[in-house]
Amino acid sequence: MADQLQLRTVESLRGPSVTELVFEHLYHQVVELELPPGTKLSEVEVAKQMGVSRQPVRDAFYRLSQLGFLLIRPQRATVVTHISEEGVHQARFIRTALEMETVRAAADRLTTEQMDRLDALIERQQAAIDSGDRVLFHALDDDFHKHICDMSGHDFAWALIRESKAHMDRVRYLSLSFGAQSALDDHKAIMAALRSRDGDQAAASMRIHLSRIKTIISRIRESHGQHFAMDEK
Residue 15 pLDDT class (50, 70, 90 cuts): low
Beta pairing partners, 41: 78
| Model pLDDT, residue 10 | 44
- Cα–Cα distance between 226 and 223 in angstroms, integer? 9
| Model pLDDT, residue 76 | 84
Residue 115's contacts (CB-CB under 8 Å, 6 or more residues apart) are 191, 194, 195
Q: Which is more confidently placed, 104 or 232? A: 104
Query: Average pLDDT of 40-68?
Result: 94
- Cα–Cα distance between 197 and 231 in angstroms, integer? 45
Query: Average pLDDT of 100-112?
Result: 97
Q: What's the pLDDT tens digit per position in 157-204?
A: 999 999 999 889 999 999 999 999 999 999 999 999 999 999 999 999
| Model pLDDT, residue 138 | 96
Q: What's the pLDDT tens digit per position in 210-222?
A: 999 999 999 999 9
Using CB atoms within 10 Å of the CB of residue 117, give its burial: 0 to 12 exposed, 13 to 18 middle, 19+ buried.
Answer: middle
Query: Average pLDDT of 6-16?
Result: 49
Nearest to 30 by CA among 57, 67, 56, 77: 67
- Cα–Cα distance between 140 and 103 in angstroms, integer? 17
- 8 A C-beta contact, residue 115 and residue 195: yes
| Model pLDDT, residue 4 | 58
Q: pTM, whole model, 2 decimals?
A: 0.87
The yes-or-no verdict on residue 12 having pLDDT over 50 is no
Tell me the helix, strand and coil percentages in the chain, rounded to 5.
75, 5, 25
Using CB atoms within 10 Å of the CB of residue 49, give its burial: 0 to 12 exposed, 13 to 18 middle, 19+ buried.
Answer: exposed
Rounded to 5°, the CA angle 68-71-77 comes to: 155
The yes-or-no verdict on residue 7 having pLDDT over 60 is no
Q: Which is more confidently placed, 84 or 74? A: 84
The yes-or-no verdict on residue 53 having pLDDT over 70 is yes
Query: Average pLDDT of 31-41?
Result: 95
Using CB atoms within 10 Å of the CB of residue 185, give its burial: 0 to 12 exposed, 13 to 18 middle, 19+ buried.
Answer: exposed
- Cα–Cα distance between 109 and 111 in angstroms, integer? 6
Type of residue numbered 192: A
Rounded to 5°, the CA angle 47-48-52 comes to: 50
Residue 75 pLDDT class (50, 70, 90 cuts): confident
The yes-or-no verdict on residue 231 having pLDDT over 70 is no
Using CB atoms within 10 Å of the CB of residue 183, give its burial: 0 to 12 exposed, 13 to 18 middle, 19+ buried.
Answer: buried
| Model pLDDT, residue 74 | 81
Enumerate domains of the chain plus CATH numbers: 14-80 (1.10.10.10), 85-232 (1.20.120.530)
| Model pLDDT, residue 16 | 72
